[in-house]
Structure 1
Amino acid sequence: MPNTNPPKPAPESRSAYKAFRPITTRWMDNDAYGHVNNVVYYSWFDTAVNAHLIEHGALDIHAGETIGLVIETHCNYFASLAFPQTVQVGIRVAHLGTSSVRYEVGIFGDADTTAAKGHFVHVYVDKITRRPVPLPQRLKTVLEALL
């Protein structure tokens, strides 16, 4: 019988990502085991992607009519990170749909390979109705540069 299991996740190099954001760990990020707790990584995902979009004029969190809602997340961990440490968060776009985007994110410590990598999917919706809408052109342009 053939093996139908997906390949084992493996770390990736920095060259696999299109944009980077430095994030400084905080004392409270460490857990009882002395490393950054897994939930913090998801916060870094959000911070890196949304900061990139804001800085490139593709997301207006106060007056914009379109917002992204997370509908799926995933993360694999390869190496521990801990306070005090600055991490680099690499981002890229793996899929660009009509109203959705799959972001892939790599977390780097001191090594040239990911300490963790994951993804999340945003569906962009009207801020009021919460119904999916086509990606605004400015957002689409910024995202295409991350493909």
Structure 2
Amino acid sequence: MTRPQPWPRQAFPYLHPTPTRWADNDVYGHINNVTYYAYFDTAVNALLLARGVLDIQAGSTIGLVVETGCSYFAPATFPELLQVGVRVATLGRSSVRYELAVFRAQDDAACAQGHFVHVYVDRDTRRPAPLPADLRAVLEGLQVT
């Protein structure tokens, strides 16, 4: 298996500021691997909330994570202020594949990067539902080739 190379900061149309917390560090003195997934989820949902296309309480569709993965290249630690880059790699009828990367302030290459796939479903039935038009428009603006 070929090891991926870190993505560059400029490859991301949106960067979300992400402060680290004391509790993010593990006993080895760096951000614990599972915390990166929380950073990814927070960056995507904060972006969607800020753009007005996510209604956590009453939206008719919700995005469920069905796949995720992450590669790590360099450690980050508390009290760093990180940035999480968000872009859309694939946009389907009811799904979106996000690519995400975590950047330390002094680095242009990702210290960690990964992906996750949201499948949008009807809030009540939990069956796949088409992406709402306003959400699709925001996601198209984040799409890269």
Partner of 1:146: 142
For residue 70 of structure 1, what is the amino acid of its counterpart? Answer: V
- Normalized against structure 1, the TM-score is what? 0.95
Kindly report which structure 2 residues correspond to 1:98-137, keeping only aligned pairs within 5 A, or say none: 98-109=93-104, 110-137=106-133
Helix, strand or coil for the counterpart of 2:100? strand
Helix, strand or coil for the counterpart of 2:39? helix
Give the Cα separation in 2 of the matches to 1:139 and 1:12: 25
Structure 1: state its 5+ residue gaps. none
Helix, strand or coil for the counterpart of 2:115? strand
1:82 is displaced (CA, Å) by 0.3
Kindly report which structure 2 residues correspond to 1:1-147, keeping only aligned pairs within 5 A, or say none: 5=1, 7-109=2-104, 110-147=106-143
For residue 62 of structure 2, what is the amino acid of its counterpart? Answer: I
Q: Percent identity?
A: 59
Helix, strand or coil for the counterpart of 1:11? coil
Larger radius of gyration, structure 1 or 2?
1
Give the Cα separation in 2 of the matches to 1:31 and 1:55: 31
| Deviation digits for residues 84-112 of structure 1 (CA, Å, limit 9, x no counterpart) | 10000000000000000000000001211
Number of residue pairs matched by the alignment: 142
- Normalized against structure 2, the TM-score is what? 0.96
Q: CA RMSD in A?
A: 0.7
Q: Which runs of 4+ in 1 moved over 4 A?
A: none
